[in-house]
Each structure stands twice: as structure tokens, then as C-alpha cells.
Structure 1
Amino acid sequence: MDVSKNKGDIAGQKKQVVIVAMTRQMLLDFTGPADVFTNADRLLHGTGVNEGYDVKVVAPTYDRKVITSAGIDFNCRYCAMDVKTPIDTLIIAGDDHWELMAAELVPFYEWLSGINEHNTRRIGSVCAGAFALAKVGLLNGRKATTHWEMSEKLKAQYPSIEVHSNAFFIQDGPMYTSAGVSSGIDLSLALVEEDYGKEIAVRVARQMVFYLRRSGVQAQFGNLLPVYDTTNIGQKLKLWLDGRLHEPVDLSKIAEHFNMSVRNLTRVLQKHTGMPPAKFIEKLRVEKARAYLEDTDMSLERIAEYCGLGNLVTMRRIFLRQLAITPSDYRRAFRTSLKDTGDQDLYPV
């Protein structure tokens, strides 16, 4: 088995993986990738390979502390500024947008500004860690992703980045960005496969009881429509249409309810939600159908009827367009936990 995919590495030398724990909310942002690389290193050692990974989880501040909201505090052996280049793989794990700690993070961003493809082979991020990379210009002109809730914010703050909100992870040259939380595991497994081949990556995935490659896209996990402010016409329209989705769309009736002309309704909705009425209503129908698929045993035909999605063929086509998954596959993947496990009596839903 050829496990040495990276021919430029010095034989027997471990690859230095540095994971910066920027988040205090989602521990999996940094513990997930750390587990992938440390398990890969252990498995490689078991096969007689002297290479593998030297993994360091570091703090972004000089006090070397990561104080989490889960009641677990980490005293890291190193802070990021202790780490000298060259680095093999750098991963920025999360970013809670610490406005109140901006002064404490200045040295970290100065250090990150010195990171580039000449002294670091691969540079990546998990979840909102893309914002840290963007802040120092590492993602300028590149494709990137982040958690679905923050993709619009990343687009607005850094228009030079080509943001793909559906992907679990994206590579653009030496830059690797991943989506929300567990996507850091997806990315790390892909990096292990890139280094040492599929067999090792599969063994790590099995050890962690995780998929080597998850099917689908990030959109399956997020809301197709964001939560709008109560004064936003999008939120008002959502509330008004909630009990009327089984009815045919009548824009003139909607416009009359809001004391607008159809033309003005279309203009205002486009301005405040970024989409025309037909697209907005279709997404709203799909959101309603998702809730039925997750929480009820209602037939697909009745769900299509109740949500105004026509028939099963039409609903399937719309689901594939909006979520890249069929309604039946969505139900199997996302139905309420414990529904079909036989444990309902022990753990009533």
C-alpha cells in the first residue's frame, strides 16, 4: 500500500498540523479535525509508516486559554504566535467574531497575515473560520464556503470572495474552506485521503463512525429562507401565507392584503429578500414540506397537496432543484430521531 502521496515531504518526517481554536461555542469545530488527524497518525504508525501528523491545537491569544460556553476550559500548550513556519496544514476552527476581544486578537491577526502558500502547504477553515482568513486577504479572488447561516454575511463583507453556500467544503488552490461544524471532519478526512490515500481515510472514518463522503449539500441542513426582522415584508408574507400554502398563488390577492400593487409588491419583496414572489413562495412551500417529512408519517402525495407543490412528480423536481435530494430520501435522512428505532417507549418523541 502506497501511503506516501506527498512526494515532496522528507521521508519519516511528520506533517505539522496546526488547528487554531477560534470558537468558544462549537467545540467540534476544532476537536473534530484534531481527532481525524490524530487517529490517522495512530493508524499510520500501526502500519509501520514513520510519517503521519504532528497535531497542535493552539489558542489565538497569548494566555493560551480557550474558555468555552460548555463549561470546559482548555489550557493549550501553545498559542498560534508560538508556531513558526513552515507549517504543513493550518486550520482556523471557527470564529465567534470577538468584537470585545479585538485588542487581544491583534497579535494573532498579525501572525496570520504572515501565513501564505510559500510557508504553509495548505490553509483551511471550519465554519466561520473563513472570516479570519478573509480578514487578512487569504481568500481574495477565491472560491470559499462557510456555515449556511453566515454565507450572506461573508458575501456582503468580502465581495471579492466567490461564496458557495451549499458545499460541505471547497478547495481553491492551497485554500480549503468548510461549512458548519461537522464539515470540518469532512474536510479533514479529505486532506488525509489526499496525503495517504483512500484506505487510510476510510479506516479513520470507520473508527469515528463517520461517512468518508456525505451525500447531498449543506442546503439540506439550513433554512431556505432566513429569519427576517418582524418589520420585513418577507416575514410578514411568511406569516400570512403559512395557513394558505395549499391554495393557488394569487399575487393580486397578496398585493391587496398589503395595500400594494402587484408591481410594487414584487419590487419591495425583491429589495428586502433578494428574490421575486414566485421564488419566495416556492421556498416557503419546500420549508413547510420539510417539516411534514421530518415530523409526520403523512404520505408524500398528501404533503405535496397540503404545501401547494402539486403532485409527487412536481414536488420531487422542486426538492431536487432546491435541496439536491428527493422528498423520500430527505425523509429517510432527516425524520425525527428515534422514529423508526423501536425505542419510542423508552424515549417518547
Structure 2
Amino acid sequence: MTKSPRFLPDPRRVEILVFADVQLLDVAGPLQVFATANDLAGPGAAPYALHVVASAGEPVRSSAGLGLATEALPPADRPLDTLLVAGGRGVTAAEAGDLPAWIAARVPRARRVASVCTGAFLLGAAGLLDGRRVATHWTRCAELARRYPRARVEPDPIFIRDGALWTSAGVTAGIDLALALVEADLGRATALAVARHLVVFLKRPGGQAQFSTALSLQAAGTRFEALHAWIAEHLGEDLTVARLAEAAGMSPRGFARHYRAATGLTPARALERLRVEAARRLLAESALPLKRIAARCGFGSEETLRRSFLRHVAVAPAAYRRRFREGAPGPGADPGI
């Protein structure tokens, strides 16, 4: 990627690369951010020239079933500002085609390269991830790290900038990424105006840790479903591995082994995530003081709650409450757990 290309198109040429079974929002989200920046700039002042490109230059069917009009892949040596690679369930088939070679040849003419969600796999196939900090959808982080071990895959950030390489988490995170690109190009005021127009955060608080831990643990199937329900009713208690094993009807050693195999998490890590999620809900839906929330969710102290919150949500509990408690029940309301 060139840091200062000799010939930058004016307006900035943005190419969004798509393929069969692309994730629709990976394309539409960033595209709308750039298009809104154009709309707000007024007639004749559009900062971006937007192009959705694909191998054949023919309509591409997204995984949602909606067709996308595309242009043919431009010559590799044509100057551009931003190459953005979408993701989706068709990315594996796309990796086996001509796109990785085209991306690798296109990159030297781009000021920056970005991916949304699993588009990072195409960047990896093009040889762009070695030594880089990288984000992708939380469900695919382990696979990306395994396939591209020289990449530094980070599971929590909404998006990551590593020099001229930008990568984002799943689906709607592409909007966050595009807003950051607009801010880098046109300034905070313009990016904020775009975010307001689209009714989204300019900088979303927290990270991928804000996905539901309870839902993610359903990957374990029904084996530990009853245990997770039991944990939800006993969060404020001292839940050692031995006690969890007893509740699951297993020996501590066998429980720890089987639980990690089923969920991908140690019992302690899963318990902390469930406690953080419960605290998030109380912070957003009640006026309970932090000390009481910490005790009810099993953290023991406000400081332990704060450390866990920073680790998993990337914001302090008080800041999270200020952001999300609008419209919550009145003072003293107690929704329970």
C-alpha cells in the first residue's frame, strides 16, 4: 500500500469488492456511509466516487438473496484511494478464485485497504495480514488466527487500524469502520454529521464483547443448558469449579474438560462473562448503586466489577450506564436478574 500515492483521484475513488453470497450489510452499510457523506457535501462537491466491483462485472447475488449491480474489476494499475473488501458466507469460495491475486496486485495503487467481517480472509489469502493487528467477526477469530498465524488477530475491537490496513468486526461493524474512514478523510464534524443522519454512534462504546454471552454459550447445545440457567439464578454466590461441577452432576476435572470442549471457554471465563452481562443489564435498566450491582452479580467489590467491565466491554461501568440508561425505569426500579 502506498502511503502517498502520486496520483490520487479527485473525488476519492472507493472500490467495494463483492462476490457471490456476500453479506449484504457488509456492502450496504459502508456504501451508505460514503454516499451520505456525498449527499451532505452538496451538488458538485462529492468527496467519494463509489464503485462496487466483482470478478465478472455482472449482478452478484448476496446471501440475503438481493442482487447487487457491479462493475468489472478495474485494471490492477489504476490509481484508487480505498479498496474495501466485504465478507460473507461466500468468502471461502472467493478465496479459491481470482480475487486474492487481484487484491495483491491492486494494493500497491491504493492509499489504504480495508475489510469488513470475514473479508479479512481474502486479505489473508492475498498475503496482507502478516505482522498486522486484525479484526474479524468474533465467531471466526480463532479460524483466522489458525490459518494466518503471523497475523495478530484481536477478538474484541469493533475495528482496527494498523497503518494503511483497516479491518473490522462483523456485519454492522462495517458502518463503524466506514465512519472512521470518513473521519480520517474529512474530519470529525463531517463524520458526526453522517452518523447523526444515519442515526448511529460515531464511536460505538465497547467492543465485540457486547454480543450476548448467553447466546454464544448456546453453541454448547443442550448439555450445559440447565447449568447456565442455574448459574443465572446463583450469580451472587461463590461459584467455584467444584460447585459448578456439582450442579452439572460431574466430577470437577471431568466438568472442566468437557465444559471447555463444548463452549471454548474455561468455566471461570464463562462465569465472568455471564456476570458482566448481568451487570450490563442492571446498569442499563435500574438505578441500583454500583456496589449493590457488584454484589448481586458476584463480583464482590466495585473494583472487581470495574476491572472485569474494562476487560470485556472496554468502558467503565459508570460510563456504560450514562450511555445506555436513557429511558430506563425510574429511580429505585429493580428488574431483578
Please classify the TM superposition score into its range, dividing by the shorter chain length: 0.7 to 0.9
What secondary structure, in the 3-state scheme, does the structure 1 residue paired with 2:213 have?
Answer: coil
Equivalent runs, 1:70-89 vs 2, <5 Å = 70=64, 72-76=66-70, 78-80=71-73, 85-89=78-82
Q: CA RMSD in A?
A: 3.7
Per-residue deviation at 1:152?
Answer: 2.4
Question: May I ask how many residue pairs the two structures share in their alignment?
Answer: 325
Change (3 A) 1:92 1:302: same
| Paired residues of 1:95 and 1:132 also in contact (CA < 8 A) | no
CA, structure 1 residues 208+245, in 2 after alignment: closer, same or farther (shift >3 Å)? closer
Alpha-carbon offset, residue 26 of structure 1? 4.3
For 2:182, what is the secondary structure of its paired residue?
A: helix
User: Cα offset for 1:92?
Assistant: 0.6
Q: How does 1:96-175 map to 2 (within 5 A)?
A: 96-97=89-90, 102=93, 106-116=97-107, 118-175=108-165
Matched with 1:289 is: 279
Any unmatched runs of 5+ in structure 2? 330-337
The AA in structure 2 aligned to 1:73 is G
- 1:204: which partner in 2? 194
Aligned to 1:64: 58
Q: CA deviation at 1:263?
A: 5.2
User: CA separation in 2, counterparts of 1:328 and 1:319?
Assistant: 10
Q: Conserved in 2, the CA contact under 8 Å of 1:151 and 1:163?
A: yes
Q: Distance in 2 between matches of 1:206 and 1:242?
A: 37
Native 8 Å contact 1:29 1:94 kept in 2 = yes
Within-5 A mapping of 1:261-280? 262=252, 265-266=255-256, 276-280=266-270
Relative distance call for 1:324 and 1:108 in structure 2 (3 A) is closer
Tell whether 2:219 aligns with 1:228. yes
Q: Is the 8 A contact 2:22 2:63 kept in 1?
A: yes
**Aligned equivalents of 2:261, 2:8: Cα separation in 1:** 58
Give the whole-Å Cα distance in 1 for the aligned partners of 2:317 and 2:222: 33
Residue 14 of structure 2: aligned partner: 17
Deviations 1:170-208 (A, max 9, x none): 122321111222322222232233333334333433433
Cα distance change, pair 252–33 in 1 and its aligned pair in 2 (3 A): closer
**Partner SS for 2:220:** coil
The corresponding residue for 1:343 is: none
User: 1:81–1:111: 8 Å Cα contact kept in structure 2?
Assistant: no
How far off its partner does 1:279 sit?
3.1
Alpha-carbon offset, residue 307 of structure 1: 2.8
- Assess if the C-alpha contact under 8 Å between 1:147 and 1:179 holds in 2: yes
SS of 2:239's equivalent? Answer: coil
One-letter amino acid of the structure 1 residue matched with residue 100 of structure 2: Y
State the partner residue of 2:185. Answer: 195
Output the CA distance in 1 between the equivalents of 2:162 and 2:230. Answer: 43
TM-score by length of 1: 0.75
Q: Which amino acid aligns with 1:80?
A: L
Distance apart, 1:142 and its partner CA: 1.0
CA 1:39/1:151 → structure 2, altered by over 3 Å: closer, same or farther? same
Partner of 1:347: none
